[in-house]
Amino acid sequence: MKRSLRKLWRRLSRARTVVAMPHARRHALARPLMHEHPEIAAPLAIRPRPAAFENAAGLGVDLSLFIGPLATALQQLLDAIPAALGVFDRDGVYLAANTAYAAIHGLTPQALVGGNVSDYLPESEAQLSDDLARFDGGIDSIEREVQCHGRCYLVALQPVHDSRGSVQGVASVLVDITARKREEDALERARRHWQFHASHDHLTGLPNRRRIDEVLLAEVGRCARAGVPLSVLMIDVDYFKKYNDGVGHQQGDECLRRVALQLQSRMRRHGDLVGRYGGEEFIAILPGTDAEGAVLVAQGVLDDMRELAIEHPASPYCRVTLSIGVATLGEREGPSSRRCDVLLGHADRALYAAKAGGRNTLRTHPPLP
């Protein structure tokens, strides 16, 4: 093949004598050349426009001798570029493409040239119009990611100008970043996984103490600025150590999971949050809920546990019950830096009052009138 190309270019080096030859002599020389190298007459991936030959016609030059080999050489140059390259005009019609670019659409460069970008990328027509408007406005490059035939590509676009500086088309370079995107997606999933487990309890899936403290601190400030109440329920599973000792730790874990699901189902307003604060203790944060509203939520939790009816042989109620302390943050409950501690302290005292009152009940602090 290389020897054949060298022979071809030696023939073409005689072009200066061909220019001066009479018309019949030139065509006599051209015929054997085209016969020996049929690729000259083959469809080209670079299709010249007739206007390119207007001046040459007056010189008596038969440019058919040059079109094939020069286009072939240019195609080889395009194919040597280590990226997928395509060029299309303002109408989206492909003027040139290398093999890597055409292969994205399952075509050869010869088959792609003359087709329209919208034939292969259905949503590209409106995008091309927007890109041309930006190029006409002076933007010199555009980059974005696109999905094509199930793969992800980074597309770099640059305007193609004529001699007067007008944008006549667009050069598009595509780099396959599918593998990189998959790695990025895997890393993002891993990040979200570990972030979730850093802020959530592994047993119940509820927010853990660290997350509860973060949310409570944020809500204390937000509710104070908005002038709305903030209530907290501190919830404890009654006689849980006896339950664990009686039925085993696996059953104890299952009990905590069922309690967690029941508590979560009771958090029905936007911003409500329940988490596991440690052991058999849970905390619910109720932004925008006053003391009376918090008591209603707490009573609903107790009713839910009654319906859940988890058997507890060591409990005087013969089932798993909860004790709940309810506290609501007053408007002037100490300086803002201490509001969280004050609110939790009130809820804790209310919880102990509920336990002292026989469990399976709720208490508020300060007590409601």
Looking at the fold, whether 269 and 349 belong to one and the same domain comes out as yes
Contacts of residue 328, defined as CB under 8 A and 6 or more positions apart, other chains included, come to: 229, 230, 231, 232, 289, 290, 291, 294, 364
Q: How many domains does the chain have?
A: 3
Tens digits of residue pLDDT in 21-70: 333 333 333 334 334 434 433 333 444 444 444 444 444 444 444 455 66
- Say if 192 falls within a structural domain: no
- Say if 360 falls within a structural domain: yes
Bridge-based pairing of strands 167-176 and 281-287 is unpaired
- Determine the pLDDT at residue 23: 38
- Say if 345 falls within a structural domain: yes
Looking at the fold, whether 167 and 290 belong to one and the same domain comes out as no
Looking at the fold, whether 211 and 340 belong to one and the same domain comes out as yes
- Determine the pLDDT at residue 69: 65
Looking at the fold, whether 220 and 120 belong to one and the same domain comes out as no
- Determine the pLDDT at residue 333: 53
- Say if 154 falls within a structural domain: yes
Q: Where are the beta strands (DSSP E) in 21-122?
A: 84-89, 94-97
Predicted structure pTM score: 0.60
Looking at the fold, whether 127 and 26 belong to one and the same domain comes out as no
Total Cβ atoms within 10 A of residue 50:
7
- Determine the pLDDT at residue 79: 77
The CATH number for 353's domain is: 3.30.70.270
How far apart are alpha carbons 17 and 31 in whole angstroms? 16
Looking at the fold, whether 108 and 160 belong to one and the same domain comes out as yes
Active site residues: 280
Measured in residues, the chain has a length of 369
Looking at the fold, whether 141 and 212 belong to one and the same domain comes out as no
Total Cβ atoms within 10 A of residue 286:
24
* pLDDT tens per residue across all 369 residues of the chain: 434 434 433 443 343 333 333 333 333 333 343 344 344 333 334 444 444 444 444 444 444 444 556 667 777 777 777 889 999 999 999 999 999 999 999 999 999 999 999 888 777 888 899 999 999 999 999 999 988 888 999 999 999 998 888 999 999 999 999 999 999 999 999 999 998 889 999 999 999 999 999 999 999 999 988 889 999 999 999 999 999 999 999 999 999 999 999 999 999 899 999 999 999 999 999 999 999 999 999 999 999 999 999 999 999 999 999 999 999 987 655 555 578 888 999 999 999 999 999 999 999 988 765
Looking at the fold, whether 226 and 361 belong to one and the same domain comes out as yes
- Determine the pLDDT at residue 224: 87
The CATH number for 128's domain is: 3.30.450.20
Tens digits of residue pLDDT in 207-260: 999 999 999 999 999 998 888 999 999 999 999 999 999 999 999 999 999 999
Looking at the fold, whether 44 and 103 belong to one and the same domain comes out as no
